[in-house]
Structure 1
Amino acid sequence: MVLIAPFVAPLLFPALAQSVDYTQHVDVFSGTENGGNNFPGVARPFGMVKLGPDLLNQGTDAYSGYLSNGAFSGFSLMHEQGTGGAPKYGTVSQLPLVGNISNPFSGLTVGRAVADQGSVGYYKAQTTDGVVVELSASSRAGIYQYTFPEGKLGNILVDVSHVLPSFRGQGLGQGYKGGNFTIFPDGHYEGHGVYDNGWNRAPNWNIYFCGYFDAPAISSEVYKGTDVNGSVVQPNGIAASTSGDTRIGGVFSFNATQVVSRVGISWISTEKACSNVDGEIPHGTDLKTVVDDAKAEWNSKVLSKITTTNTNETSLSLLYTSLYFMHLIPTNQTGENPGWESTEPYYQDIFTLWDLFRCSTALMHILQPVAHEEQIRSLIDIWRFEGYLPDARSSNYNGRTQGGSNADNVLADAYVKGVRGAVNWDDGYRAMVKDAEVTPPNDNPDPMAPDSSTKEGRGALPDWLALGYITPRFTRAVSRAVEYAANDFGLYQVAAGLGKDDDAEKYLNRSRNWRNHWNEEQESLGFSGFVVPRNESGFIATDPLTDSGYWGNPYYEASSWAYSWADVHDMKKLIELMGGPETVVNRLNTMFTEGANGGSGMIFDPTNEPMFSIPYLYNYVNRQDLSVLQSRKIAKGYYHTGPTGLPGNSDAGAMQTWLLWNMIGLYPVTGQTTFLIHSPWFESLTVDLGGCKKLEITATGGDGNGDSGYYVQSLKVNGKEWKKNWLTWDDIFAEGGTLEFELGDTPVDWATGELPPSPASED
């Protein structure tokens, strides 16, 4: 195949016309503490470079590089956004130091003098040595501006061995494996590093770099050494290593007070790294130009996609900060794919679809239809060349699959909502069938779940195909079963659309197999019926209040209280099994009752993706008012501005997109065209759908910030009175539309129309 023309994202385009600077409402430090793991550094939308600080605090994982305490171990160009599990990247690093340096590879760190500062496209830190570090970035290059203390020797350490460490003890820490480093006669440097592992258990991967300084160094030395023997200057300006024990890098020393460094990265070669920095941040570019350009790009491409007349700064900060963080990954790496040549787009740093399929990818489709189509095409292309769709992918390697093959859900959702363009849906369907029918090899068993592959696909297929359920010989048996059922429903949707009637019938039937895990006699808090483990001999009892687990357990990261609601495509049957609408209302209410979990909290966990849809399920039993009540209580009670503003791990923006849907007043049902209606926050909200199409949402009677008066009294859709508590893609998104809400302080029975569809329940 012919290699696609390289992705081009020039830094220095003229500032895009933008009458409003939405970046002023973005708090880049939001969710950086309290386990949110947001990345506060500098980046462009979907950019390869995410330049920010790496803080070292022994025993504490810095997932995005940032911690509020600890010492700077470097400022590196590669990070993930909001992830858990174990840190990834922290590669291509510089560290400013003052004075003489005798052994640069002795684990040098430097303290933080004052709290870091940051805004969209700009980051500032000050070390205890008195060095001010200012950062900005383009898509594939970064710029550092150092201000050293007057009269002090300023040094910049480039350490090829630098990675973000992990202290969790799960065997997921990254490893440095070697590389090379060269300082050229004109003073610039090039090289590459080799690394492995991280949360996705990746084998060796290479990243290439090319760096320039705008001030001449009074000395520049290449070092090579080990932790035991120390560092030795390489007289020829070149160092190479094929061992993780032998570190390489360089130290550049300056008499100048201010030094600007420009660095490009590439997954392909040092030549491409140099081309990336020369094309995006050319010689002579100042920091302010890069910052201004970054702000203009974020305003034009992302933040202006949702606008409001609201003037409350707390609400605006939550809105635009959430939009910002949901666009940091996946990474658009088109033209930078080291694995194969293709004419298709290439996105990676998918971390992970298990977190994102419930509501994030649906919002990405609405806000970024072009990028979303490219992401779908990229998923399919990964299948073409690697054999399976990824559920997660980082450093160009699939892994780890936490539950089902949830790329199937993402593809199905795109298909039923009309994503076509250049997507080859015949190939897309074949990729989904591969997930559904072929067990992935377990060539490199995961120590935390050795029973089957966690790299990709559906490792528990042997039981699923032979028995219609999953026995405990497979880890995460129950949570995988309910996800496999949803995955198969996705195949049904695409098969039906493509006219594959026999396949459609088969996968629709398989999508009901979650029922085989339903034990009507399992009880908890007076309610009967939960999805439970089972084997050929029958059901295995658990305690639904305490059965949440991890990789080796029947339920992954949530309890049977949560997973029993998972298969929304079969909701009518689920309501029947639970005992009818009244029991369902009581059961849902119990999940939001303080102390119902036997402690001081709720059964509902706002930090956990398997819970995301639960507040909205009241719509299926004609209690839309309770969907509004419970979802608003969660949004207002657990999401805030500031560093501790997220209730838990961002998970690549998953938390932020849940909040954004709450603000909009809708919730997507993945794999269907259905959107559940709740209640918007603002008096007016405009969503840019692309192609000159817009969704206009207005609300009268509320307080304009969603704090009170949020119950729906009446609704008009496209100017006509609406009586259903749900609508479809075609109603308001396909060509745009309007939603006119009248809100009030007390619930009324406005939604008297038919209930949301339950396609798999129609036997």
Structure 2
Amino acid sequence: MFFWPLSSICFLAVLCGLATAANVDFTQYVNVFQGTTGGGNRFPGVVAAPFAMVKLGPDVQSGKTDAYSGYLPSGNIWGFSMMHESGTGGAPKYGVVSQMPVLGNVSNPLGDLSQGRATADQAQIGYYKSSLANGIVVELAATEHAGVYQYTFPESTTPSIVVDVSHVLPSFRGLGWEQHYSGGNFSFFPDGHYEGSGTYNNGWNLSPDWIIYFCGKFDKKVATARSFKGVGTTLASFDTTPSVSGSERVGGVFTFAGTTVTSRVGISFLSSSKACRNLDDEIQGDTSLQSLTEKARDIWNAEVLSKVQVSGASDADLQLLYSSLLGMFLIPSNRTGENPGWSSDEPYYDDIFTLWDTHRCHTALFHIIQPNAYEEFIRSLIGIWRNDGFMPDARSSNYNGRVQGGSNADNVLADAYIKGVRGAINWEDGFAAIQTDAEEVPPNNNDPKAPDSSTKEGRGALPDWLTYGYITPTYTRAVSRAIEYSANDFGLYQVAQGLGKTDEAETYLSRSRNWYNHWDSNASSNGHSGFVAPRRSDGTFISQDPLSCGGCYWGDAYYEDNPWVYSLNAIHDVAYIKELSGGDDMFVDRLNKLWDLNIFNAGNEPSFTSPYLYNFVKGQQWRSVERSRAIGKLYNGGTGGLPGNSDAGAMESNILWQMIGLWPMTGQTTFLILSPWFPELSINLGTGKQLKVTSTGGNKDTAFFVQSLKVNGEQWDKAWVTWDDVFANGGTMEFILGQEKVDWATGVLPPSPASGHILGGMSAGIRSGKDNN
């Protein structure tokens, strides 16, 4: 396969860095290894289309390091498997339906067959190559439900391929989240093909047993075929018996004559016969690796990469832009037609990790870049509620879990509703799905990390929320959950209001303000008073250092960030946050302190919106731009190019919004204005519409402050735009940039839709939780 060096990309355009030429192959700008080191956990293997079910790549062992996506840059490869996730944390998931090529006859297929790499792996969209230390070369390509392994063995050797049904990615963290193999079956047939299934459980979402079926075929006549069964590394049987099954490790070993072997494998969640149909439908015996690679490249170009085009970008920025677009659309997985849980004509998406991570900025860009798939995704969330009782905040292997804070599918549905996503969505059911989260307590799944209430779905701390209007220490993550429950209720208000459900809208708008029942005006830190804090059932606050969140994990009052950050996180009620903070000047200083005190973490989702809240103070928009540019410097298109875990593309979507020069306020139609990176950027919005963002007079790195702005040809004086302004029908944004920190945004401040009672002159005093329901 041929790989474009990044230094060669400029021949495609009149000017180096121009990426707007017709029929440009944008995949050449993509580094599939972006974010694979430094904790990014990106999957670099073959994903033939956005959200493809098959994610084919290597599984690597390196000491006791968890390989969340299967891939690690160093260590031994011990299999190449069909299913992975990208950018997940907690514990690995999948690494199933695996093969491993071996030199010579295999005496014990349950032993260590792993190999180091002779050279670093190579890859591009649609293609992956590993050169093993023993001389075997493995090349991979795939479709949405099937994959191809092309093996080249050294001369004068016996090619062997081991299919190990028990293969699964392990975890070494000791948290009880490791995957388990429960059992399987394996059969080979006289025509040389094989079928079977494996049953597995656990992983980061604590799922019970689930089954994946497989069907494999080879392009060469099988010389010998043997099945095996055993426990650990001890063989119980290894012979020509064509079928084996049970709770032991099972699988098969095939040998061939010659130096090349091509293996084709299909998978299905429904049956092995469906796996065979998927294989035959998508990859025929004469299908070449090159044709599959080209098809994958064409799909990614058409459906994602070409949707965003820029001019005036450096090579490095082009690589960052298009590599980040790839990272955004690797998961969830589109499993439509492959749902074993219920029969339905509705779309079905799985591998949702997690809406806690992605609702802040990923889903808003998902909507813009892939509007048809986004509608399907919304329908899928509602479909899961219809059949499983609750929408997921996270889901994998057809099972909900795990909820870290609120029920953030509520925010995602609300965001879609108020931006006019309709299509085939049943919004009455959508409202009922959100209301289920708001009113029904989910059964406790007895998660050892947070045994107080469900981490599977819904709002486990709902009893306190309904009783007190806040959450007591009876429940873990009490404060961070309360902030998120408020935002979830605001989402329900948005949908209720749109559907004409006046009483419900009033109820949930009121509940969306309950976050401030956690506001302890006596808590102080570094010149500021008032922070969200734990609160007992008698109404008294628990003393909490605002710079500390304890362990910041499952058993603490704050999850993955501290009171300074969570005190700014009710983004539907910013006007009231400002008032509680002491007014504009103190609010700005409070924001500044996130950096002065080294609190802000660009790799941590609760902090994502904080840098842009300066837009809620007149004359301060330049500070949001300054923070945005600093965050941009933490990214690049290289292997360590993400400032934290990808979190299923959340991190990548963050930098893409910086490039555009906007920031979405989830659950609202508001986008805060930042500053674009490029002289010209266009986003194809579908049906002939586009958003075109231009900038003159400055540059990305040293002269990036907004001097003036026109929106759709009209002079603009607001630090925000709406969905209708620039996305609903397309639009233009014409920036003039420079080095001066100009007070250009003199108009109306961004909406603070839950703060109407404050803006209308109502008392800002903290009311008791019981009075604030």
Choose which of 38, 41, 45 in structure 2 pairs with 1:37. 41
Choose which of 560, 565, 569 in structure 2 pairs with 1:566. 569
| Residue deviations 1:404-446 (CA, integer Å, cap 9, x gap) | 000000000000000011000000000111100010011x300
> Quick one: distance in 2 between partners of 1:518 and 1:26?
46
Choose which of 670, 674, 677 in structure 1 pairs with 2:673. 677
Question: Which residue does the alignment assign to 2:695?
Answer: 699
> Quick one: distance in 1 between partners of 2:582 and 2:273?
65
> Quick one: distance in 2 between partners of 1:655 and 1:441?
32
Question: Which residue does the alignment assign to 2:122?
Answer: 117
Q: What is the DSSP-based 3-state SS (H/G/I as helix, E as strand, rest coil) of the residue aligned with 2:486? A: helix
Choose which of 619, 624, 628 in structure 1 pairs with 2:625. 628
More divergent stretch after superposition (113-122 vs 472-481): 113-122
Question: Which residue does the alignment assign to 1:58?
Answer: 63
> Quick one: distance in 1 between partners of 2:442 and 2:574?
30
Q: 5 Å matches for 1:413-432?
A: 413-432=415-434
Question: 1:627 is aligned with what amino acid?
Answer: S
Question: Which residue does the alignment assign to 1:509?
Answer: 510
> Quick one: distance in 1 between partners of 2:496 and 2:652?
32
Task: State the superposition RMSD in angstroms.
Answer: 1.0
> Quick one: distance in 2 between partners of 1:311 and 1:387?
48
Does structure 1 retain, via aligned residues, the 8 Å contact 2:35–2:41? yes
Q: 5 Å matches for 1:539-550?
A: 539-547=541-549, 549-550=552-553
Does structure 2 retain, via aligned residues, the 8 Å contact 1:441–1:453? yes
Q: Does 2:617 align with 1:614?
A: no
Question: 1:135 is aligned with what amino acid?
Answer: L
State how many pairs are aligned: 733
Question: Which residue does the alignment assign to 1:471?
Answer: 472
Does structure 2 retain, via aligned residues, the 8 Å contact 1:105–1:231? no
> Quick one: distance in 1 between partners of 2:663 and 2:233?
57
Question: Which residue does the alignment assign to 2:3?
Answer: none
Q: Does 2:239 align with 1:238?
A: no
Question: 2:708 is aligned with what amino acid?
Answer: S
Q: 5 Å matches for 1:283-322?
A: 283-322=285-324
Question: Which residue does the alignment assign to 1:351?
Answer: 353
Q: Does 2:182 align with 1:177?
A: yes
Question: 1:480 is aligned with what amino acid?
Answer: R
Residue 676 of structure 1 and its aligned partner are, at CA, apart by 0.3
Question: Which residue does the alignment assign to 1:20?
Answer: 24
Question: Which residue does the alignment assign to 1:450?
Answer: 451
Q: Does 2:556 align with 1:553?
A: yes
Cα 1:669–1:603, aligned 2, differ >3 Å: closer, same or farther? same
Choose which of 190, 194, 208 in structure 2 pairs with 1:189. 194
TM-score, normalised relative to structure 1: 0.95
> Quick one: distance in 1 between partners of 2:222 and 2:560?
52
> Quick one: distance in 2 between partners of 1:671 and 1:256?
60
Choose which of 200, 203, 227 in structure 1 pairs with 2:205. 200
TM-score, normalised relative to structure 2: 0.94
Question: Which residue does the alignment assign to 2:716?
Answer: 722
Does structure 2 retain, via aligned residues, the 8 Å contact 1:352–1:392? yes
Q: 5 Å matches for 1:232-381?
A: 232-241=237-246, 243=247, 246-381=248-383
Question: Which residue does the alignment assign to 1:665?
Answer: 661
Does structure 2 retain, via aligned residues, the 8 Å contact 1:18–1:299? no
Q: What is the DSSP-based 3-state SS (H/G/I as helix, E as strand, rest coil) of the residue aligned with 1:172? A: coil
Does structure 2 retain, via aligned residues, the 8 Å contact 1:200–1:398? yes
Choose which of 139, 147, 160 in structure 1 pairs with 2:144. 139
More divergent stretch after superposition (220-229 vs 432-441): 220-229
Cα 1:107–1:177, aligned 2, differ >3 Å: closer, same or farther? farther
Q: What is the DSSP-based 3-state SS (H/G/I as helix, E as strand, rest coil) of the residue aligned with 2:732? A: strand
Question: 1:550 is aligned with what amino acid?
Answer: Y
> Quick one: distance in 2 between partners of 1:534 and 1:192?
50
Does structure 2 retain, via aligned residues, the 8 Å contact 1:592–1:630? no
> Quick one: distance in 2 between partners of 1:279 and 1:543?
61
Does structure 1 retain, via aligned residues, the 8 Å contact 2:390–2:436? yes
> Quick one: distance in 1 between partners of 2:462 and 2:734?
47
> Quick one: distance in 2 between partners of 1:708 and 1:181?
62
Question: Which residue does the alignment assign to 2:441?
Answer: 439
Residue 590 of structure 1 and its aligned partner are, at CA, apart by 1.4
> Quick one: distance in 2 between partners of 1:417 and 1:525?
40
> Quick one: distance in 2 between partners of 1:225 and 1:460?
45
Q: What is the DSSP-based 3-state SS (H/G/I as helix, E as strand, rest coil) of the residue aligned with 2:343? A: coil
Question: Which residue does the alignment assign to 1:156?
Answer: 161
Question: 1:560 is aligned with what amino acid?
Answer: P
Residue 608 of structure 1 and its aligned partner are, at CA, apart by 0.3
Question: 1:626 is aligned with what amino acid?
Answer: R
Choose which of 628, 648, 664 in structure 1 pairs with 2:644. 648
Does structure 1 retain, via aligned residues, the 8 Å contact 2:105–2:255? no
Q: What is the DSSP-based 3-state SS (H/G/I as helix, E as strand, rest coil) of the residue aligned with 1:77? A: strand
Residue 231 of structure 1 and its aligned partner are, at CA, apart by 4.7
| Residue deviations 1:680-720 (CA, integer Å, cap 9, x gap) | 000000101011110011000122xx212110000000001
Question: 2:39 is aligned with what amino acid?
Answer: G
Does structure 2 retain, via aligned residues, the 8 Å contact 1:50–1:78? yes
Q: Flag structure 2 segments of 5+ consecutive residues without an equivalent.
A: 1-20, 758-773
Q: Does 2:725 align with 1:731?
A: yes
Does structure 1 retain, via aligned residues, the 8 Å contact 2:110–2:234? no
Q: Does 2:740 align with 1:746?
A: yes
Residue 236 of structure 1 and its aligned partner are, at CA, apart by 2.8
| Residue deviations 1:298-330 (CA, integer Å, cap 9, x gap) | 111110010012341101001000000101111
| Residue deviations 1:58-91 (CA, integer Å, cap 9, x gap) | 3100000001111111000100011111000000
Q: What is the DSSP-based 3-state SS (H/G/I as helix, E as strand, rest coil) of the residue aligned with 1:535? A: coil
> Quick one: distance in 2 between partners of 1:367 and 1:177?
40
Q: What is the DSSP-based 3-state SS (H/G/I as helix, E as strand, rest coil) of the residue aligned with 2:658? A: helix
Q: Does 2:131 align with 1:126?
A: yes
Question: Which residue does the alignment assign to 1:3?
Answer: none
> Quick one: distance in 1 between partners of 2:241 and 2:252?
12
Choose which of 385, 388, 391 in structure 1 pairs with 2:390. 388
Question: 1:681 is aligned with what amino acid?
Answer: W
Does structure 1 retain, via aligned residues, the 8 Å contact 2:102–2:113? no
Question: Which residue does the alignment assign to 1:10?
Answer: none
Question: Which residue does the alignment assign to 2:754?
Answer: 760
Cα 1:565–1:393, aligned 2, differ >3 Å: closer, same or farther? same
Question: 2:45 is aligned with what amino acid?
Answer: G
> Quick one: distance in 2 between partners of 1:510 and 1:108?
58
> Quick one: distance in 2 between partners of 1:228 and 1:746?
68
> Quick one: distance in 2 between partners of 1:702 and 1:145?
50
Q: What is the DSSP-based 3-state SS (H/G/I as helix, E as strand, rest coil) of the residue aligned with 1:695? A: strand
Question: 2:630 is aligned with what amino acid?
Answer: K
> Quick one: distance in 2 between partners of 1:235 and 1:91?
24
Residue 107 of structure 1 and its aligned partner are, at CA, apart by 3.7
Question: Which residue does the alignment assign to 2:588?
Answer: 585
> Quick one: distance in 2 between partners of 1:235 and 1:646?
49
Question: 1:385 is aligned with what amino acid?
Answer: N
Question: Which residue does the alignment assign to 1:167?
Answer: 172
| Residue deviations 1:366-402 (CA, integer Å, cap 9, x gap) | 1111000000000000000000010000000000000
> Quick one: distance in 2 between partners of 1:18 and 1:656?
25
Question: 1:248 is aligned with what amino acid?
Answer: V
Q: Flag structure 1 segments of 5+ consecutive residues without an equivalent.
A: 1-16, 597-601
Q: What is the DSSP-based 3-state SS (H/G/I as helix, E as strand, rest coil) of the residue aligned with 2:170? A: coil
Residue 228 of structure 1 and its aligned partner are, at CA, apart by 5.8
Does structure 2 retain, via aligned residues, the 8 Å contact 1:570–1:761? yes
> Quick one: distance in 1 between partners of 2:636 and 2:547?
28
| Residue deviations 1:225-261 (CA, integer Å, cap 9, x gap) | 12263252243311111x2xx1000111122211111
